[in-house]
């Protein structure tokens, strides 16, 4: 339909209607699939878990650090890295903003 619209053989309104119809069909089909899986989860645990795992977003762990000796060394390594990234070469980095004061 997009090609027809771009060639001038279909109106923009026809194209938008087709897109809207396709989105609705996809949404209803996906909903029906999920409801069917939820109702048959007792009989089909493997299929359900495969579907859930495909939809889950993966979390990646931080790779081991080069200077890995302990938690304190990890913290120091990360601190050194981020300090070097966010520092300018003009001078030492002050974590406090010049406009902020400690009022304890």
Output the pTM of the full model. Answer: 0.43
Does residue 18 fall inside a structural domain? yes
Q: Which domain holds residue 12?
A: 2-55
Residues 6+ apart with CB under 8 A from 51: 37
- Which phi and psi (to 5°) does residue 23 adopt? -60, -45
Task: Say which DSSP state 1 is in.
Answer: -
Does residue 12 fall inside a structural domain? yes
Does residue 74 fall inside a structural domain? no
| Total domains present in the chain | 1
Q: Give per-residue pLDDT as tens, 46-97.
A: 888 888 888 777 666 556 655 556 666 777 777 777 776 666 655 555 555 5
- Burial class, 77, CB count within 10 angstroms (exposed 0-12 / middle 13-18 / buried 19+): middle
Residues 6+ apart with CB under 8 A from 18: 1
- Mean pLDDT, rounded, of the chain: 74
Among 17-21, 41-45, 58-62, 93-97, name the most confident range. Answer: 17-21
For residues 28 and 36, the answer to whether their CB atoms sit within 8 Å is no
């Amino acid at each position: 339909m997009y090609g027809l619209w771009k060639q001038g053989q279909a109106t923009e309104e026809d194209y938008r209607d087709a897109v809207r119809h396709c989105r609705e069909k996809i949404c209803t089909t996906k909903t029906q699939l999920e409801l069917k899986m939820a109702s048959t989860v007792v009989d089909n645990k493997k299929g359900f878990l495969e579907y859930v795992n495909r939809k889950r977003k993966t979390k990646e762990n931080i790779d081991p650090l080069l200077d890995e000796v302990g938690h304190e060394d990890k913290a120091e390594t990360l601190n050194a890295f981020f300090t070097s990234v966010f520092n300018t070469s003009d001078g030492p980095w002050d974590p406090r903003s010049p406009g902020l004061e400690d009022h304890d």
